[in-house]
């Protein structure tokens, strides 16, 4: 029903405090095209410009050089059209302000001119997607734990049901089960609605579960852009840029060394089993 | 909506002689310089002080674009002052533009007042350009320390200033974030009447307050857990020491200020 947004960066760069002695270049010469409905992961060491890239793509921070396009149209300084994008910063709980969880999540959709039932439906489904059941709806946001607040903040963004979702480390502060659950829900959401989803992540296991395509940043430059499985299996590349490969890839490396056999890097558990089976056959 | 690009405190990191002068010397002499500007009543005196200030700006290697940045807020005021004086002060008429008449004394006085204003602002910006905010409050608290005996809370005041200065950029950054996030959620802070606009600010201001209180809370806890028990008897890691550089600075400043007043009296 809702069509994904096409995102484009045309030699975009971002400098903080431009023209001042302590200006900081966060991004340089980034060319990028994201097709509608793609699931893109962004990885890179601390301070490499991941959040900056996300903000540029979302159109919420104007680049200091180059251009940002949504659906082929340059995004003006006023930002993207309301309702087209949803954006969750590293600490989405910082944006809570209503008296109840339900009211806070309803804030965004309430401003899109939808009828009451539709708003209520979106609130429910967003809360569900972030793993918060009905008992939370009437609670005061500040009476929740940090992790729960974070989920409410995220739900407030999901409830917009935007054409493109931008999430900055959405799984931080969640417990391991909730992390995987959230990732799976994001994938599901992307497949059902066709929305473009861009996510910044620190954990390669999570990214391998989420991303179709991976961007790797280092010191403000895009050092890799390609299908996620290929890049994630490249332990050397990841380590070069201060990243830790997914556990399965590390395991493949260890097995290959122990068996003194070349082992194709694998990502999923199924691929691991296949690879092991091949080794056994070879013996 | 680019609060992130706002410059607060206007400190320019550097290693010039002026950067290295003790903050106390700089504060005292900036103050003296400002007072002297009001004692000077001729262009000659102002010119001398302007020359001294220009030398200071050159020594501190302040980029010209920054001078403009520092002056921007008062340029309009200086211009208005000048125009007011030039047209309304009276004296010998020079020429008339429509219903307005330009007066010789008015132009002189207007230029004098505008120049004084500009020098006043430039001298205080030179202080903040070359002194990190923390050093400023450090210097101020040391200067005010004798007042502590009169039960004036000098340390506490200095600490409050330091903390405020420390958190302004942080809060601005958070404001920027919240603003962007809420705008993306459809918040609209630019349209509507006054009441509506004020109401629309709630999604932005409320979270900002919450964050500020959270910061304050965490900071208080952190300070207590590190045994902060009020200012009395605290020692500083950064020791301020007056050296030959301060002696030289004081010598030059006394000459400059004294000379300015002397020339200005003639
Ligand atoms: N408001 C700002 N002012 C000045 N410099 C900034 C600002 N925000 C970010 N930077 C700088 O820009 C660079 C990129 O920052 P960014 O937040 O995009 O990194 P990141 O990859 O998201 O890091 P992290 O993993 O810590 O979230 C960093 O070097 C940072 O110091
Ligand atoms: Mg970041």
Range of the domain at B248: 2-264
pLDDT (mean) for B38-48: 91
With 0-12 / 13-18 / 19 or more C-beta atoms within 10 angstroms meaning exposed / middle / buried, residue B8 is exposed
Determine contact, residues A87/B184, Cβ cutoff 8 Å: yes
Please determine, for residue B8, whether its predicted confidence score (pLDDT) is greater than 70: no
- The answer on pLDDT for B26 being more than 90 is yes
| SS3 of A69-129 | EECCEECCCCCCCCCCEEEECCCHHHHCCCCCHHHHHHHHHHCCCCCHHHHHHHHHHHHHH
- Is B238 a residue whose pLDDT tops 80? no
Quick: pLDDT tens for A61-103: 999 999 999 999 999 877 888 788 999 988 888 889 899 999 9
- Pick from B49, B61, B29: nearest CA to B130: B61
Q: What is the pLDDT of residue A1?
A: 44
Is residue A98 left, alpha or beta, with left meaning phi > 0 and alpha meaning psi from -120 to 50? Answer: beta
The CA angle B193-A61-A173, to the nearest 5 degrees, is 100
Question: CA–CA separation, B4 vs B200, rounded Å?
Answer: 21
Chain B hits for A16, CB-CB cut-off 8 Å, are 4-5
Longest dimension (CA), chain B: 72
Nearest to B184 by CA among A159, A229, A195: A159
pLDDT bucket at B3, cuts 50 / 70 / 90: very low
> What are the start-end ranges of the E strands in chain B?
93-97, 100-103
Minimal Cβ distance to B177: which of A94, A110, A142: A94
- Please indicate if any CB of chain B lies within 8 Å of the CB of A155: no
Residue B196 corresponds to which tokens in the numbers above? Answer: 């509506």
Give the residue among A83, A13, A58, A76 at the shortest CA–CA distance from A168.
Answer: A58
**What average pLDDT score do residues B14-26 get?**
91
- What confidence tier does A191 reach under pLDDT thresholds 50, 70, 90? very high
- Count contacts between A and B (CB, < 8 Å): 76
Q: How many CB atoms lie within 10 A of CB A155?
A: 28
> Into how many domains does chain B fold?
1
Paired with A15 in beta bridges are: A25
Q: For A117-166, what is each residue's pLDDT tens digit?
A: 999 999 999 998 888 889 999 999 989 988 899 899 999 999 999 999 99
> Mean pLDDT, to the nearest integer, of A170-198?
89
- Residue A85, Cβ neighbours under 10 Å: how many? 28
Q: Which uninterrupted H or E stretch holds A256?
A: helix A247-258
Mean model confidence pLDDT for chain B: 84
A192-238 pLDDT per residue, tens: 989 999 999 989 999 999 999 999 999 999 999 999 988 998 888 99
Mean pLDDT, chain A, whole residue set: 89
Q: What is the DSSP letter of B191?
A: S
Ligand 1 pocket test, pick from A23, A47, A56, A242 with the greatest ligand atom count within 8 Å of Cβ, gives: A47
Place of tokens 């500007």: B37
| Stretch B55-67: mean pLDDT | 87
pLDDT at site A2: 54
- The answer to whether the Cβ–Cβ distance between B203 and A20 falls below 8 Å is no
Six token digits for residue A241: 């840029």
- Residue A10's pLDDT is 93
For residue B70, which residues of chain A lie inside 8 Å, CB to CB?
none
Give percent above pLDDT 90 in chain A: 57
């Amino acid at each position: 029903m809702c069509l994904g947004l096409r995102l484009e960066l045309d030699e975009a760069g971002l400098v903080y405090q431009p023209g001042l002695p302590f200006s900081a270049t966060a991004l340089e010469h980034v060319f990028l095209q994201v097709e509608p409905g793609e699931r893109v992961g962004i990885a890179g060491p601390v301070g490499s410009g991941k959040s900056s890239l996300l903000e540029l793509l979302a159109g919420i921070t104007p680049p200091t050089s180059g251009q940002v396009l949504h659906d082929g149209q340059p995004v003006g300084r006023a930002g993207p059209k309301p309702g087209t994008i949803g954006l969750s910063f590293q600490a989405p709980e910082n944006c809570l302000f209503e008296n109840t969880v339900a009211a806070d999540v309803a804030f965004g959709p309430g401003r899109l001119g939808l009828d009451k039932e539709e708003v209520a439906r979106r609130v429910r489904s967003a809360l569900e997607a972030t793993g918060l059941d009905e008992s939370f709806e009437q609670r005061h946001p500040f009476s929740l734990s940090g992790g729960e607040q974070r989920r409410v903040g995220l739900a407030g963004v999901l409830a917009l049901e935007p054409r493109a979702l931008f999430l900055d480390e959405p799984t931080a502060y969640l417990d391991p089960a909730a992390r995987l659950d959230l990732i799976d829900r994001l994938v599901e959401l992307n497949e059902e609605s066709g929305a473009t989803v861009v996510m910044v992540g620190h954990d390669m296991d999570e990214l391998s579960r989420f991303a179709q395509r991976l961007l790797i940043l280092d010191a403000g430059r895009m050092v890799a852009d390609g299908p996620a499985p290929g890049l994630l299996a490249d332990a050397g590349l990841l380590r070069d840029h201060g990243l830790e490969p997914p556990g399965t890839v590390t395991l493949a490396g260890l097995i290959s060394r122990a068996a003194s056999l070349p082992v194709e890097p694998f990502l999923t558990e199924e691929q691991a089993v296949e690879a092991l089976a091949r080794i056994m056959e070879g013996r | 909506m680019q609060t992130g690009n706002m410059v607060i405190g206007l400190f320019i990191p550097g290693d010039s002689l002026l950067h290295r002068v003790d903050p106390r010397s700089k504060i005292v002499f900036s103050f003296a310089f400002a007072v002297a500007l009001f004692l000077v009543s001729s262009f000659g005196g102002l010119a001398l002080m302007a020359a001294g200030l220009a030398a200071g700006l050159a020594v501190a290697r302040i980029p010209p674009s920054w001078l403009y940045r520092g002056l921007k807020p008062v340029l309009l005021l200086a211009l208005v002052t000048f125009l007011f004086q030039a047209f309304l002060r009276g004296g010998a008429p020079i020429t008339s533009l429509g219903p307005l008449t330009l007066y010789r004394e008015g132009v002189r006085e207007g230029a004098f007042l505008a120049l004084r204003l500009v020098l006043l602002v430039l001298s205080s910006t030179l202080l903040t350009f070359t002194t990190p905010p923390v050093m400023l409050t450090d210097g101020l608290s040391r200067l005010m320390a004798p007042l502590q005996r009169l039960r004036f809370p000098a340390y506490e005041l200095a600490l409050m200033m330091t903390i405020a200065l420390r958190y302004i950029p942080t809060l601005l950054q958070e404001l920027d974030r919240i603003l962007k996030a809420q705008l993306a959620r459809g918040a609209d802070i630019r349209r509507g009447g006054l009441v509506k606009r004020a109401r629309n600010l709630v999604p932005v201001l409320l979270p900002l307050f919450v964050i500020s209180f959270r910061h304050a809370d965490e900071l208080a806890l952190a300070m207590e857990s590190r045994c902060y028990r009020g200012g009395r008897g605290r020692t500083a890691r950064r020791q301020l020491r007056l050296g030959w550089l301060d002696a030289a600075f004081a010598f030059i400043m006394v000459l400059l200020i004294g000379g300015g007043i002397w020339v200005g009296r003639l």
